[in-house]
Structure 1
Amino acid sequence: MNQPATVIKMNKSYTILISLIVALGGFLLGFDSAVISGAVRGITIYFEMTEWMLGFSVGCVVFGAMAGNLLAGPVADRFGRKNTLIVVAALFTISATWSALATGYTEFIIARIIGGVGIGGAILIAPVYIAEIAPPKLRGSLVSFNQLNIVIGISVAYFSNYFLVNVGEESWRWMLGVEAIPALIYFISLWTVPKSPRWLIQKLNKVELARKILQKIGGEEYAEVTIQEIQRGIDKKEEKGKLRDILDSKYTTIMIIALGIAFFQQITGINAIFYYAPTIFEQAGGSTDSSFLQAIVVGLTNLVFTLVAIWLIDRLGRKPLLLIGTTCMTIALLMATFAFNNATYDFNEETIAKVGDDEIRAALAGLDGQSFDGQAVLFSAVQQELNEEQFLNFRRNEITNFIQINASLVLIAILLYVASFAISLGPVMWTLISEIFPSKIKGIAISVVGFFNSLVSFSVTQVFPWELSNLGPTVTFALYALLSFIAILFVYRFVIETKGRTLEEVEELLIRK
């Protein structure tokens, strides 16, 4: 598809406006993902959670996301991308309001899962919609708006948490409830965007309506060329794609790329960092207030480097960004591993006095003057001084009083990791997913890949609190570093470059391979 650059440029502002509105779903996704980090301590106390209950309350949103992933593709194919996103906005509004008002653990979990369904729909359908209305030369940047809004949402959540943390004993309710405001704005704004021209032609055969939308996007010549491309694609298509079709050998390369990138985007630990950022910094010896401030810095780093990715993705290309990003992620995770591995835990009058529980403080007095080189040795000694309940309290709340660590190195490592993710696996995955699937299987395939991505995400967020308490941060970050290194090898071997190609050209290239 070779549209004159001047035609596309004349109508760029309209396309950008549509993309920004639709990408507000990404903002809600990011906000919902990160806001729980500030509420962790509050909900743990209010609902009297164990480690596994906490992990589930944070990660259960992914169960909803899995349902949203499975439903989003087929629903969007049948009822349209726009209508599906309107429902998504309503789900975010309900979830935020109910989570803030919940008085029981089960009720809280249900409200979180409803928000997860919204996340599952937004993360898949928003980039698909944008990819279908964007000219090829702008597609990578415009689809990345969704990832940009995700990281803006994360940053805003960290700021919101910081300013709300001291509003009262149940400040977590305000943290979770404030999301209802942008959710309602998204719901209203979506009514102003047009339906996807590709969907209008492919599903409803409304060519004239699609033509009017395409003319507003890129002018008459762009509209005619695009309609011809879409109709040629329709002429080549067989019956509607089914789940078994994604197992067809001609789609093997596509599925390997999609499932592989979806796996490595989550298994390398990004949601563990975002969901538990204040907890990680407290593990490095920071106070509650400083850990919330450091979380804000993480969010801002994510935002800045996502902007860098948007600038580079249609210039440098998808694969180079993935290789650069995953390499730097591996280095950053090794830095964090090194920092925690060299940490010590010192017991003296000053550190023991910081313990909030009187009985634990008295029991630990016997360790005065001792120093431990790792968590395993520390836990072995402390466990002999405390009962089971006290030891659990120590691991959760008191261990940070004793750690001596290069906190600056931990902060630098986390910031480098987040920056590297933000220029690579974060935005590039969703851009690739929106580009590589043929129209015949796009709806079902993108749902399967999204479900798989959410399943991996849930596994990471569910296990992370247990890993920190039982394996320690050293082993935890070392495992993520190994997985990040494997991601480099995968990208080098399997991922192809889609920069500058039309969706139809990408389809022909991958199926031919």
Structure 2
Amino acid sequence: MPAGGFSVAAPAGTEFEAKITPVVIISCIMAATGGLMFGYDNGVTGGVTSMNDFLKKFFPNVYRKKNEPGLESNYCKYDNQGLQLFTSSLYLAGLIATFFASYTTRRLGRRRTMLIAGLFFIAGVTVNGAAQDLAMLIIGRILLGCGVGFANQAVPLFLSEIAPTRIRGGLNILFQLNVTIGILFANLINYGTSKIHPWGWRLSLGLAGIPALLLTAGALTVVDTPNSLIERGRLDEGRAVLKKIRGTDNVGAEFEEILAASLASQQVKHPFRNLLKRRNRPQLVISAFLQLFQQFTGINAIMFYSPVLFNTLGFKSDASLYSAVITGAVNVLSTTVSIYSVDRVGRRALLLEAGVQMFLAQVVIAVVLGIKVTDHSDNLGTGWAVLVVLMVCVFVSAFAWSWGPLGWLIPSETFQLETRSAGQSVTVCTNLLFTFVIAQAFLSMLCHMKYGIFAFFSGWILIMSLFVFFLLPETKNVPIEEMTERVWKQHWFWRRFIEEDHHEEDEKKVAGNGAASNGAADKGHIGKSAVSVVSDLTAQYKTAFHLSSTRKAELRVAKNVVLLLLLWLSISSSRWGFGAMGRGNAGGLWIVAFAIAAVAGLASSAAVYNVGGGAGWIVAENYSSWASSKIFHVGDKIVFEYDNSSHNVLEVRKEDYHSCNAKSPIAAHATGNDSISLTRYGHRFFICGFPGHCAGGQKLDVRVQKHRLAIPPSGGGSAAAPASSGSAAPTGSDTASAPVGQTPHGVGAAEAFGGIGSAIAAGAFAAAAVVLLC
């Protein structure tokens, strides 16, 4: 192989020859400027909203609270819904634009979708830079959000599809690297423009036009990906582009693999509906949860509002902007670590190490702020301020080489081609949804929870690290089109979601029937063979139908455990809200009631097991191993699928089961599709009555358990006690002892914690709903 080239090995032993060509490098750099724009928009708002000129023009109430000492708690100076909407409206618009971006990415291609994003960015920058009132600011942010929706949909797909497999991770992270560079540029520009009065903020918002123009120019010059061209039927062009980006004419094997995946995708008329199918559930769940977890690390709370946050902690205006520049620089440098290590160390190792690092940093910050920062303290003190900035840098660095880039990389490389656009759409949509939630809620949460906000995020970091450890498989150096075979079917948990591929078995049966037909002398025999083929295919369709029910039953216990934990969190958080607020909360009550109903319904539903899985009821199948991997309960059903011309099902006693005695069965079945209800607990024994079959292994021992997992009583009946005691307690008792000035806007701490409790309860309920859908 020529110098600078390398092979991407497919599992079947073929090699996809590829070089790191200039076309690939240039295309990826130009495409990744979409991340530069996204990062600039992330970083610019925090600095602008800390500028007095900006606040005086658009948010005079916030300006007054900020500049009149003692008027407001340090934690609450920036608690303003309009100010938060200025930041969050971008993500809400991006969320809506994502649905349209999925269509354009699939039908118009990745390159044209990036062009649309660039045009939206240019329009948004123009409106924001010329804004005269809050309405113009919001409209500009909405236009920028549309650009974000289209860019975040197309760019990660473009990068993952154009890059050779072994450097796919590193090139894909160019998107996240440009996000961090954009944030750093925004912080640097904010630091400079803060000294330009009174229009420095306009310069900060207007300079976003530079990355917008770069993205637009890049979209006009780069080639589209071979995957996109082939998917849209432009095969010759797709092959030519593949040769160009790989730097070789030997692209036949890779072209055939992309073409096969494309043909399969064309059979999917409703990609979003197909995305919900069981075999695509692992990719969907992991992608959605990665986006949720990425936002609940708290990173965007720091990146959006870092100057505001440092102002809150007592830093002066220049010092807060300077500290934001430091964290932005750390963000960029740490992302380069990920580019180097992601395809060497792997995805899981980076995420797990970062989880520990981020957790410790958040805990230290919470402790320092809890001890040293009061509602009306003037400053944090030099030593403690340095420690806080250092811990923020430790946190940001861990995120930058893990959850930042990998939250986008992993979803973009795991979805199959037929669902990739829809899957990326859901990924971006979920990310923008939770980004909007954090952006809109953070300053209010900071006001009410104070230093506890960092403890809140550290708890989420612990949860997401456990998720990675148990449920996230490694995707390093795995070709995108081979994820199903090499990743999902090999994972201890997700493999049960992937339906077995019966195509090879069908082909063998057709070939066998064809051979029998060729040996026959009359058309009647040929006709019989054809009927047999149709019968076999019909039986396999029925088997596949039962398989989905079977695998659903296998996950029942795990689902119930997770749902019970979420139910506990929902009830606990809601009771926290009820007790603190001193009054009932109908919204919280229906959440809890619905969660209870969901768990109870899941716990009580019967399961259907297809005996032997895809193989069915045959000789030489290891049914002891199959049964040992299941948990049967009273009320479940087992289904025997078989050819009734050569098999049957006899239920026998224990001694007849061990001796393979078929002379005195308890019950006999011979339809070829027998559904047997498990109506009593204990052992049930089944054998095939045809001579030699039972001795050959065609026998099944089913151990039926008496009870399913039940919902335990809450605290020995103590759940009702808080309601009565809470109603008897004075509603103002929690706030009466609070010092004046520590409960902003006349809202007591009890009401604040009540709202937080209800919010967490709602979050637990939403998570329970996601688990229920799994």
Q: TM-score range by the shorter chain?
A: 0.7 to 0.9
Aligned with 1:406: secondary structure? helix
Match for residue 217 of structure 2 among 180, 188, 196: 188
Cα displacement (A) at 1:283: 2.1
Write the distance in 2 (CA, Å) between the matches of 1:510 and 1:74: 28
Identity across the alignment (%) = 29
1:382 aligns with none
1:93 aligns with 122
1:216 aligns with 244
Match for residue 52 of structure 1 among 69, 81, 85: 81
2:208 aligns with 179
One-letter amino acid matched to 2:452: V
Q: 1:131 to 1:409 in 2, by over 3 A?
A: same
Aligned with 1:401: secondary structure? coil
Write the distance in 2 (CA, Å) between the matches of 1:142 and 1:403: 41
Residue 479 of structure 2 is aligned to residue 502 of structure 1: yes
Write the distance in 2 (CA, Å) between the matches of 1:84 and 1:276: 30
2:196 aligns with 167
Write the distance in 2 (CA, Å) between the matches of 1:202 and 1:163: 47
Q: 1:310 to 1:5 in 2, by over 3 A?
A: farther
The TM-score with structure 2 as length reference comes to 0.57
One-letter amino acid matched to 1:486: I
Aligned with 1:441: secondary structure? helix
Write the distance in 2 (CA, Å) between the matches of 1:418 and 1:145: 17
Alpha-carbon RMSD across the aligned residues, in angstroms, is 1.9
Write the distance in 1 (CA, Å) between the matches of 2:37 and 2:231: 29
2:458 aligns with 481
1:274-321, CA deviations, whole angstroms, 9 ceiling, x for partnerless residues? 111111112222111111111111111000010000000000111111
One-letter amino acid matched to 1:421: F
Aligned with 1:507: secondary structure? helix
Instruction: Note the residue ranges of structure 2 that are not aligned, 5 or more in a row.
Output: 1-7, 63-79, 490-494, 496-774
Match for residue 391 of structure 2 among 402, 408, 413: 413
Native 8 Å contact 2:30 2:214 kept in 1: no
One-letter amino acid matched to 2:171: L
2:683 aligns with none
Cα displacement (A) at 1:480: 0.6
One-letter amino acid matched to 1:469: C
Q: Show the 5 A alignment for 1:242-321.
A: 242-321=271-350
Native 8 Å contact 1:35 1:157 kept in 2: yes
Native 8 Å contact 1:240 1:441 kept in 2: no
Residue 358 of structure 2 is aligned to residue 329 of structure 1: yes
Larger Rg: 2
Residue 166 of structure 2 is aligned to residue 137 of structure 1: yes
Q: Write 1 or 2 for the structure with the bigger share of strand.
A: 2
1:23 aligns with 32
Match for residue 198 of structure 1 among 212, 223, 227: 227
Native 8 Å contact 2:47 2:308 kept in 1: no
Match for residue 453 of structure 1 among 403, 422, 431: 431
Native 8 Å contact 1:250 1:511 kept in 2: no
Write the distance in 1 (CA, Å) between the matches of 2:37 and 2:126: 14
- Bigger mean CA deviation after superposition, 291-300 or 182-191: 182-191
Write the distance in 2 (CA, Å) between the matches of 1:222 and 1:192: 25
The number of residue pairs the alignment matches comes to: 458
The TM-score with structure 1 as length reference comes to 0.86
Residue 76 of structure 2 is aligned to residue 69 of structure 1: no
Residue 13 of structure 2 is aligned to residue 2 of structure 1: no
Cα displacement (A) at 1:436: 0.8
Write the distance in 1 (CA, Å) between the matches of 2:210 and 2:126: 10
Native 8 Å contact 1:128 1:434 kept in 2: yes
- Bigger mean CA deviation after superposition, 422-431 or 33-42: 33-42
One-letter amino acid matched to 1:293: Y
Write the distance in 1 (CA, Å) between the matches of 2:83 and 2:457: 21
Write the distance in 1 (CA, Å) between the matches of 2:188 and 2:227: 39
Write the distance in 2 (CA, Å) between the matches of 1:12 and 1:57: 42
Native 8 Å contact 2:21 2:247 kept in 1: no
Aligned with 1:8: secondary structure? strand
Cα displacement (A) at 1:400: 5.7
Residue 261 of structure 2 is aligned to residue 233 of structure 1: yes
1:175-212, CA deviations, whole angstroms, 9 ceiling, x for partnerless residues? 10111123123212321100111111111x22221122
Write the distance in 1 (CA, Å) between the matches of 2:262 and 2:244: 23
Q: 1:188 to 1:429 in 2, by over 3 A?
A: same
Write the distance in 2 (CA, Å) between the matches of 1:196 and 1:463: 39
Residue 369 of structure 2 is aligned to residue 340 of structure 1: yes
Using CA pairs under 8 Å that are at least 6 residues apart, name the structure with larger relative contact order, 1 or 2: 1
Native 8 Å contact 1:335 1:409 kept in 2: no
Cα displacement (A) at 1:340: 0.3
Write the distance in 2 (CA, Å) between the matches of 1:265 and 1:69: 18
Match for residue 14 of structure 1 among 11, 23, 26: 23
1:380 aligns with none
Residue 459 of structure 2 is aligned to residue 464 of structure 1: no
Write the distance in 2 (CA, Å) between the matches of 1:25 and 1:402: 38
Instruction: Note the residue ranges of structure 1 that are not aligned, 5 or more in a row.
Output: 345-373, 376-398
Native 8 Å contact 1:283 1:400 kept in 2: no
Cα displacement (A) at 1:448: 1.6
One-letter amino acid matched to 1:458: F
Cα displacement (A) at 1:133: 1.0
One-letter amino acid matched to 2:50: R
2:707 aligns with none
1:378-421, CA deviations, whole angstroms, 9 ceiling, x for partnerless residues? xxxxxxxxxxxxxxxxxxxxx46255581111111110110000
Write the distance in 1 (CA, Å) between the matches of 2:245 and 2:276: 36
Match for residue 378 of structure 2 among 395, 401, 406: 401
Q: 1:100 to 1:63 in 2, by over 3 A?
A: same
Write the distance in 2 (CA, Å) between the matches of 1:451 and 1:494: 22
Native 8 Å contact 2:114 2:215 kept in 1: no
- Bigger mean CA deviation after superposition, 154-163 or 49-58: 49-58
Native 8 Å contact 2:111 2:224 kept in 1: yes
- Bigger mean CA deviation after superposition, 285-294 or 297-306: 285-294
Write the distance in 2 (CA, Å) between the matches of 1:162 and 1:5: 51
Cα displacement (A) at 1:46: 1.3
Native 8 Å contact 1:59 1:461 kept in 2: yes
Q: 1:240 to 1:220 in 2, by over 3 A?
A: farther
Native 8 Å contact 1:284 1:410 kept in 2: no
Write the distance in 2 (CA, Å) between the matches of 1:400 and 1:176: 32
Q: 1:134 to 1:54 in 2, by over 3 A?
A: same
One-letter amino acid matched to 2:168: R
1:348 aligns with none
Write the distance in 1 (CA, Å) between the matches of 2:283 and 2:333: 31
